[in-house]
Chain A
Amino acid sequence: MKFSIQVNEGPYQHQASDSAYQFTKAALEKGHECFRVFFYHDGVLNGTRLTTPPQDDRNIVKNWTDLAEEYDLDLVVCVAAAQRRGIVDDGEAERNGKDATNIAPRFRISGLGQLVEAAIQSDRLVVFGD
């Protein structure tokens, strides 16, 4: 079955991103397909590579990157939400005149249409949020 996942909260503050990660991993391990993981609201903060958690804590951003690496996941950060919260890739830095980027590996920034498309194309949309 084809799933898509929506993550509405940032890492660490709320369990939503951890739950979404555990769910997505379990679904992939069972042989399901994940069409897209879409990060919205503060969920876009899952997409910064500048995160530095203590050594004895899990690295949520890296967990997503590694999972995407293993299963070729499409991790999409909403552009409007990202601009508000300062998640920047090369294209965004150039368009908006920013002096740095912080997007994590395997994440990409795109529009809300990607969420709508995911809902249309997938058998199930599972929302994780506050």
Chain B
Amino acid sequence: MSDLHTVNKSPFEKNSLESCLRLSKAGSAILLYEDGVYGALKGTAVENMIASVVADKKVYVLGPDYKARGLDESRIIDGVEVVDYAGFVDLVEANDKVQAWV
């Protein structure tokens, strides 16, 4: 079992995603939501942050937040999975606990 880490900050504004990735163990689940969804995009200056961890951490993005911000799913980094709120709930249930990188 492992933890679910939630990140709700844009990686262009705050270092929450960076700290979360540095201080979470291999096997962790990471959910990007609210402005955190911008970290899931291909072709950005921070793309490599997520792309380099998808092999040993499972990264998710909250679809409703992503859609609200006018982003198309084709721009999501390979290996990142889209979930809805029910999926968010399932992730909380499936992991030992939640670490919020607010």
Instruction: Give me the interface of A with B, judged by CB distance under 8 Å.
Output: 1, 3, 8, 15-16, 19, 22-23, 25-27, 29-30, 32, 124-130
Q: Is B33 among interface residues, defined by CB-CB distance under 8 A?
A: yes
Instruction: Give me the interface of B with A, judged by CB distance under 8 Å.
Output: 6, 8, 33-35, 64-65, 84-86, 88-90, 92-93, 97-98, 100, 102
The dominant DSSP class at the A interface is: mixed
A14 → chain B, closest Cβ, in Å?
9
- Kindly identify which residue among A8, A16, A124 contacts B92, using a CB–CB cutoff of 8 Å: A124
Tell me if A32 and B98 are in contact (CB < 8 A): no
A127 → chain B, closest Cβ, in Å?
4
Tell me if B85 and A23 are in contact (CB < 8 A): yes
Tell me if A124 and B98 are in contact (CB < 8 A): yes
